[in-house]
Amino acid sequence: MKIVLVRHGETEGNSKGLYEGKKEVSINDNGRNQSKKLGNLLKDYKFSKVYCSPQKRCKETLDIIIETLDFKPESIEYKEELKEIDFGLWEGLSYKEIEKVFPRQWEEFIKDYKDFYFPDGERFIDFYKRATKILDFLDDGSYLILTHGGVIRAVLSKLLGSGIEGFYSIKPKQGAYSEINYYKDFVEIEYINKD
C-alpha cells in the first residue's frame, strides 16, 4: 500500500510560528503557491482514496491540488481523526509566549509531553491515538492523506515503529509531502518533506 501524507499550505499563523490547532484559518498566498506546486508534483499519482482533515486550511489546500491533478479522485472523505491537536489556551500563541504566560505548564510539557493535557485542550496521548486511527481505514491501494503537522508526525512515528516517543523526531513542512510504502512486515520511505 502507498501512503502519501500531505501537510496543508502555509497560514499566516504558521509564518509567525503560532500554535493554531483547532483554530479555523485560511492558507495565505504562500500556502496557495505551495498547494499549486504540490498539485504539479502529485499529478501523475493515481489515488484509490483521499482522506482530508475537515479543517479549512486543509480543505483549501486540497481544492487547489485537485484543480491541478489530471484525475478526479472517486471519493474524498473528511475525517475528524485528521484534525490537528487541540492546543486549548495555547492556540494563537508562539512557544515563547506560551513559555512566558504558562511557565509551569510549559515545563510540564517539556518534561513529559506524552501525558500532558493542554490547558482547556486535548491530552497529548489521546490526540496521538486519534490521529493514528486513520491507519485502520487503509487497505491495499494508494492513499492521499491531507492533514496537519501533528497528525503527520503521529502517523509517521507509528509507521516507523518509534511510537509516541519518536513524535518529535520528524518535522513536516507546510506544503510538502511524505511518501511511504507500507507492507505487512516493513515500511519503506520514498520521501520525507518533498516540495
CATH number of the domain enclosing 142: 3.40.50.1240
Is 107 a member of any domain?
no
How far apart are alpha carbons 87 and 19 in whole angstroms?
A: 7
Residue 84 among the catalytic residues: yes
Q: In residues, how long is the chain?
A: 195
pTM (2 d.p.):
0.95
Is 105 a member of any domain?
no
Catalytic pick among 84, 91, 122, 179: 84
- Residue 98, CA atoms < 13 Å, CB-side half-sphere: 21
Residue 148 among the catalytic residues: no
Is 95 a member of any domain?
no
Secondary structure (3-state) at 124: helix
Query: Which residues are known binding-site members for substrate?
Result: 7-14, 57
Q: How many domains does one find in the chain?
A: 1
State which residues form the domain around 7. Answer: 2-84+122-194
For residue 33, give Cα distances in angstroms to 29, 40, 43, 65, 124: 6, 11, 15, 10, 32
How far apart are alpha carbons 63 and 82 in whole angstroms?
A: 17
Is 132 a member of any domain?
yes
Q: What does each of the 195 residues of the chain score in pLDDT, given as a tens digit?
A: 999 999 999 999 999 999 999 999 999 999 999 999 999 999 999 898 999 999 999 999 999 999 887 666 668 999 999 999 999 999 999 999 999 999 999 999 999 999 999 999 999 999 999 999 999 999 999 999 999 999 999 999 999 999 999 999 999 999 999 999 998 788 999 999 999
Is 79 a member of any domain?
yes
